[in-house]
Structure 1
Amino acid sequence: MILIADSGSSKTDWRVIHPDGKISQHRGVGFNPYYQTSEEMALQMRDEFLLNLEGSVKQIFYYGAGCSAPERKAEVVQALQTLYSEAHIEVDHDLAAAAHATCGYEAGIACILGTGSNSCDYDGEKIIDSRPAPGYILGDEGGGGYVGRKFLRDFINDEMPSEIKAEVLERFHLTREIIQDHVYRQPFPNRYMASFCRFITEHRSNPYCYQLFYDSFQEFFSKHVCKYRDYDKKPVNFVGSIAHYNSDILRKAAMDRGLHVKLIIESPIAGLTLYHQKKL
């Protein structure tokens, strides 16, 4: 039995490949070894679905936020071993999940456009190059936090269309003070800024909202995709909610750059399941 996990800070998608080939799934709480100890993660893993698999799991492939550094990976392994002491466990980061889920065993460029953004060049077996991902203050071009930040800045500076601003005021009751409090004083400002992308997506028929996404995607291409070797000859794939729900704008921005977008998916878990099934 193989257990696969795609984990973020807020949720984890679990998939089980049973010996007869059947698939079962579960969505549970998220984990992040940057903010949780192995003991805390192990305690949260003791839910009914995972406990029922004790003694049956032979291999675990865990992909998660905060799992780039070896010491963080070790903490996740330690947490999983409390439940599955006999299983072979491999832990990797979310960029590897994007590459395996979208490229599979073929070469290509894999990108993440969710709350944040990231990318890599993948040769069909391993990541051979990646761009820096310095976070929402210094990077994250094309991600939800980046788009939301531009949107809120335009709101404060009165640089968005009057009809959009009127809808924002009616729906969110925003003020400059509320925005600044969330961005500078409250936890997870990137999530707060990204939360406005649902509104922007709903209004993407408005030229202003369309252009917010289009320009942000072009900045992502400039900072990331176009710096990989032979980028214009490789398929470019995307994972994440921003890419998924604005795929029409993303494909147009890519076409204008001469890029070939192959696959855009919201979540990597289905692609990861297929990837590991082919290994059997």
Structure 2
Amino acid sequence: MILIADSGSTKTDWRFLTADTVLAQAYTAGFNPMYQEADEIYKELHEVLVPQLKDERPTAIYYYGAGCSSPERNKRVEDALKMAFPDSLNYVDHDLLGAARALCGREPGIACILGTGSNTCLYDGAEIIDNVPSLGFLLGDEGSGAYMGKLLIKAYLYRELPDDLAQSLKNTYNLTKDGILDTLYGSSIPSRYMATFAKFMHEKQKHPVIRAMIYENFSEFFERHVLKYKDHDKLPVNFVGSIAFHFSDTLKQVAKKYGLRVETIIKSPSEGLINYHQELLQAFGTPDKSEKQ
């Protein structure tokens, strides 16, 4: 029995499965080792995940997570998993590989994550062969919910929103300048706070000012990321994440402007990852310490 995890900065979706059955589904807060240490991650695992699994324990854990882009960061997650599940084999990799496996399977394509944050890769059907770097919340995250929130809040604080939108935004979130800045700069994961404003933009997406922001968000994403890949106009472009899913109509419109072929848009990679790992279990069985699937 194995446990697979799809972890973003906001939430983590856990699936406990065998080669032919999903035994359990669980949720915890999201993790990002760019901002969090092993002890903080372990606390959530111990207090929230372990009770949901009752007495069952996995023989192996496959964790695909935001921020897992270096050995040092991956080790923070590995250490937390080892504390929570001392007898399991733990494999930690980037959520981008999870997205590529879930979206493309064994076929080549461009895989994109558009959720709280954003990332992309060129996938050859087996491995990630190119990745325009995701620079994170401070320097990048174009296309994401956090970037969308930044566009909205900057316009609000700079008094660039029409009065009707500004008042509606203020009333919805009880906003003050000091409250925004205190929450933003006092948060260990500021992108999570900014992404909360994407819900407002979805509700107001027919307003011309909001529609222009959404177009700007996706246009910057395509120009700074997807268009940099070889054969971007020939390969399918696939998306996973809440922003891609809920703003799919606009996303497709902007993609069409750049001559891109959007093939798949899903909210979560979990179902694709379940299929991927169950196929491996059927072919190879439960891994041991000498093999990594």
Q: Same fold (TM over 0.5)?
A: yes
Residue 16 of structure 2 corresponds to: 16
The more displaced of 82-91 and 94-103 is 82-91
Separation in structure 2 between the aligned mates of residue 177 and residue 83 of structure 1, nearest angstrom? 39
2-structure distance, mates of 1:186, 1:58: 35
CA contact 1:67–1:91 (8 Å) conserved in 2 = yes
- Aligned: 1:53 with 2:47: no
How many Å separate the matches in 1 of 2:102 and 2:95? 10
Cα distance in 2, alignment partners of residues 259 and 39 from structure 1: 43
Aligned residues: percent identity? Answer: 47
Q: Letter of the aligned partner of 2:55 in structure 1?
A: N
CA RMSD of aligned residues (A): 2.3
Query: Which has the larger displacement, 170-179 or 158-167?
Result: 170-179
Residue 152 to residue 83, structure 1, CA distance change in 2 (3 Å): closer
- Distance (Å, rounded) in 1 between the aligned partners of 2:40 and 2:185: 28
Following the alignment from structure 2 to structure 1, what is the Cα–Cα distance between the partners of residues 68 and 138? 20
Contact kept in structure 2, 1:6 and 1:63, CA below 8 Å: yes
Does structure 1 residue 148 correspond to structure 2 residue 149? yes
Deviations 1:253-280 (A, max 9, x none): 1011111111112221121111112222
Mapping for residues 154-169 of structure 1, pairs under 5 Å:
154-169=155-170
Gaps of 5+ in 2: 283-293
Q: SS where residue 45 of structure 1 aligns?
A: helix
**Alpha carbons 1:51, 1:83 under 8 Å: kept:** no
Give the TM-score normalised by the residue count of structure 2. 0.85
Given that residues 102 and 110 in structure 1 are in contact (C-alpha distance below 8 angstroms), is that contact kept between their aligned partners in structure 2? yes
Counterparts in 2 of 1:198 and 1:44: CA distance versus 1, 3 Å: closer
- Report if aligned partners of 1:113, 1:144 keep a CA contact under 8 Å in 2: yes
Written as runs of structure 1 = structure 2, the 5 A alignment for 1:68-79 is 68-79=69-80
Give the structure 2 partner of residue 26 of structure 1. Answer: 26
Deviation at 1:52, TM superposition (A): 1.9
Q: What is the identity, as a one-letter code, of the residue corresponding to 2:12?
A: T
Task: Compute the displacement of 1:101 (Å).
Answer: 1.3
Assess, with a 3 A threshold, how the Cα gap between structure 1 residues 74 and 149 changes in structure 2: closer, same or farther: closer
- Conserved in 2, the CA contact under 8 Å of 1:148 and 1:193? yes
Secondary structure of 2:142's counterpart equals coil
Q: Does the C-alpha gap of structure 1 residues 58 and 254 become closer, same or farther in structure 2, counting only changes over 3 Å? A: same
Compared CA separation, residues 222 and 40, structure 1 to 2 (3 A): closer
Do the aligned residues in 2 keep the contact of 1:217 with 1:250 (CA within 8 Å)?
yes
> Is the CA contact 2:35–2:188 (under 8 Å) kept in the aligned structure 1?
no
